[in-house]
């Protein structure tokens, strides 16, 4: 924020202004990005009287310079004529055009021909007003790489006209991707996603946009309780609900209620409704899982996504018991991420501890981040103690598990021989987690 003006907010309207003067989107966006970088550097010491006008003018000059240097003579002539004609009226019309420009930009940057990562990067730059450097840092790639990713994205949509509005769902998908991207560097992407979605909700009355905003607020309200200070995952049932941001929850619910009243249900409204049912419960045990299952049924009707089906299986397990959950899981295709973890959880609930332990180990190996892997490894530890008895006789050892009367394992050539002495060591293999207790050594 500079001079009381959120500088990033001025970026979309500046791009729009240049496009209306005749610049193509790609060049306009580059020019505004260059001007933005200069603004960030010079404004703290020399703030402009009219920040929006400054940005548009500085960007326009850079556009002209670039157009000249590529000897795009025709573009320059067109631009010069337009700027003379438009200049005077520009300021008056600016406010009116700005909102339309911004909304158009949301659609352009989320165009279906772009890969998700390209759309996210372009949206953060052109709509979010972030610098290439900030976006690169957020995604842990070099600045040059991110710059290229954005340039390529713009080339890909070069045939698309600003003003061509497609499906709102594509824009929502990109914004949700920004929200779920995680937190790295100076920019909090979740907060950025909320900011961009709020702005979109101010420009569009589509209930899915409002549903998306509600969903983000309801998730964001609980962010602090999801991990402990060491970064360990805390499952929903153990999260400290008193730490949830009631203000954000209140706002999210209000927005959701209004959206649902429009009677035009979409996937984000349904997801928000599920989130609302979770936050509504004073404790995990009070969660209305039956209603949650009903909302998952609605969501499946809308999307038929395997990931949704997987989530529904978890909810069915809570509402109707582990056996029902496993039956629901059977309908989920293999290779869906986290499917093994869900099966492990349901089998554990069904009392199949050995199977669950094996599945948790497999799930940990398939985990996509270290926090989940560690969490799953900790779940492997059985909830009941296993009793082990080892009988040593000379160079033979017999291992009895539980109350077995016959040995489960016999080792007949102990390597240290019959006369070894010293300490007893207990350990498990790498990747395993175990606790030992009550070791007793008795002479036979």
Partner 1 sequence: MKYLLLKHYRGGPEPVEGWTTMDRWTPDEVDAHIQFMRDFAAQLEENGELVSADAVSPDGTFVRHAGEGRPPVTDGPFAESKDLIAGWMIIDVDSWERALERAAQLSAAPGAGGQPICEWIEVRPFMSEPPSHDELAAL
Distance between CA atoms of residues 215 and 147, nearest Å: 31
Distance between CA atoms of residues 232 and 38, nearest Å: 41
Nearer to partner 1, 17 or 342 (CB): 342
Is residue 285 within the footprint of partner 1 (CB under 8 A)?
Answer: no
Considering only residues 338, 361, 377, 380, which one is a binding residue for partner 1 as defined by CB under 8 A?
A: 338
Say which residue the tokens 């018991």 belong to. 321
3, 48 contact by CB (below 8 A): yes
Report in angstroms how near the CB of residue 397 gets to partner 1 at its nearest. 28
58, 39 contact by CB (below 8 A): yes
Strand order in the sheet with 409-411: 388-393, 396-401, 409-411
β-strand partners of 396: 393
Say how many residues touch partner 1, by CB under 8 A: 46
Query: One symbol per residue from 350 to 389: x for binding partner 1 (CB under 8 A), - otherwise; what is it?
Result: -----------------xxxxxxx----------------
Is residue 241 within the footprint of partner 1 (CB under 8 A)?
Answer: no
Long-range contacts made by residues 370-376, C-beta under 8 angstroms, separation at least 24? 371/227, 371/231, 371/232, 371/233, 372/233, 372/341, 374/232, 374/233, 375/232, 375/233, 375/235, 376/341, 376/344
Considering only residues 1, 140, 420, 441, which one is a binding residue for partner 1 as defined by CB under 8 A?
A: 140
Is residue 141 within the footprint of partner 1 (CB under 8 A)?
Answer: yes
Nearer to partner 1, 103 or 313 (CB): 313
Helix (H) or strand (E) holding 241: none
Nearer to partner 1, 79 or 215 (CB): 215
Report in angstroms how near the CB of residue 199 gets to partner 1 at its nearest. 22
Considering only residues 39, 315, 319, 328, which one is a binding residue for partner 1 as defined by CB under 8 A?
A: 315
Report in angstroms how near the CB of residue 428 gets to partner 1 at its nearest. 20
Query: One symbol per residue from 88 to 127: x for binding partner 1 (CB under 8 A), - otherwise; what is it?
Result: ---------------------------xxxx--x------
Nearer to partner 1, 7 or 233 (CB): 233
- Phi, psi for 410 (deg, rounded to 5): -125, 130
Report in angstroms how near the CB of residue 385 gets to partner 1 at its nearest. 23
Query: One symbol per residue from 245 to 274: x for binding partner 1 (CB under 8 A), - otherwise; what is it?
Result: --------------------------x--x
Which residues are CB-neighbours of 332 under 8 A, at least 6 positions away? Answer: 306, 309, 310, 313, 339, 342
Report in angstroms how near the CB of residue 69 gets to partner 1 at its nearest. 21
**101 exposed, middle or buried (CB, 10 Å; 0-12, 13-18, 19+)?**
buried
Output b/e per residue, 274-298; b: 16+ Cβ within 10 A: bbbbbbeeeeeeebebebbbbbbee
Quote the tokens at residue 61: 């000059």
Report in angstroms how near the CB of residue 224 gets to partner 1 at its nearest. 14
- Phi, psi for 376 (deg, rounded to 5): -70, -40
Considering only residues 104, 206, 208, 318, which one is a binding residue for partner 1 as defined by CB under 8 A?
A: 318
- The region of 56-64, 163-171, 306-314, 408-416 touching partner 1 under the rule CB under 8 A is 306-314
Is residue 311 within the footprint of partner 1 (CB under 8 A)?
Answer: yes
Site for partner 1 in 207-236 (CB under 8 A): 219, 226, 233, 235-236
Residues near partner 1 (CB under 8 A)? 115-118, 121, 139-142, 144-146, 148-150, 152, 180-182, 219, 226, 233, 235-237, 271, 274, 292, 307, 310-312, 314-315, 318, 338, 341-342, 345, 367-373
């Amino acid at each position: 924020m500079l001079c009381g003006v959120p500088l990033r907010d001025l970026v979309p309207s500046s791009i729009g202004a240049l496009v209306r003067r005749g610049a193509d989107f790609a060049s306009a966006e580059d020019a505004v990005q260059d001007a933005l970088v200069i603004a960030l550097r010079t404004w703290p010491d020399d703030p402009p009287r009219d920040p929006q006008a400054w940005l548009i003018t500085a960007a326009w000059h850079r556009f002209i310079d670039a157009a000249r240097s590529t000897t795009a003579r025709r573009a320059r002539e067109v631009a010069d004529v337009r700027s003379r004609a438009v200049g005077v009226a520009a300021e008056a019309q600016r406010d009116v055009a700005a909102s339309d420009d911004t909304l158009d930009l949301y659609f352009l940057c989320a165009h279906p021909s772009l890969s998700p990562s390209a759309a996210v990067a372009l949206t953060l730059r052109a709509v979010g007003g972030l610098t290439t450097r900030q976006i690169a840092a957020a995604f842990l790639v070099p600045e040059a790489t991110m710059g290229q990713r954005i340039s390529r994205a713009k080339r890909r949509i070069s045939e698309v006209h600003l003003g061509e509005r497609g499906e709102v769902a594509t824009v929502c998908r990109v914004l949700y991707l920004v929200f779920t991207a995680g937190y790295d560097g100076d920019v909090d992407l979740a907060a950025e996603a909320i900011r961009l979605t709020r702005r979109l909700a101010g420009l569009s009355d589509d209930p899915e946009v409002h549903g998306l905003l509600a969903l983000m607020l309801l998730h964001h309200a609980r962010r602090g309780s999801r991990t402990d200070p060491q970064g360990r995952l805390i499952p929903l049932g153990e999260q400290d609900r008193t730490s949830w941001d009631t203000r954000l929850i209140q706002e999210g619910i209000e927005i959701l209620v209004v959206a649902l009243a429009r009677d035009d249900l979409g996937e984000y409204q349904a997801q928000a409704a599920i989130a609302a049912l979770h936050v509504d419960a004073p404790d995990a045990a009070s969660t209305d899982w039956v209603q949650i299952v009903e909302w998952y049924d609605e969501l499946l009707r809308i999307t038929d996504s395997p990931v949704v089906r997987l989530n529904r299986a978890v909810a069915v397990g809570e509402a109707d018991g582990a056996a029902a959950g496993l039956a629901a899981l059977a309908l989920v295709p293999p290779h869906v991420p986290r499917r093994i973890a869900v099966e492990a959880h349901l089998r554990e609930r069904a009392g199949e501890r050995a199977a669950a332990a094996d599945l948790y180990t497999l799930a940990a190996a398939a985990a996509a981040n270290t926090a989940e892997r560690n969490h799953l490894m900790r779940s492997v530890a059985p909830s009941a103690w296993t009793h082990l008895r080892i009988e040593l006789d000379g160079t033979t050892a017999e291992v009895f598990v539980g109350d077995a009367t016959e040995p489960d394992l016999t080792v007949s050539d102990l390597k240290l021989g019959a006369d070894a002495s010293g300490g007893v060591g207990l350990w498990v293999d790498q990747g395993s987690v175990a606790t030992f207790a009550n070791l007793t050594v008795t002479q036979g």
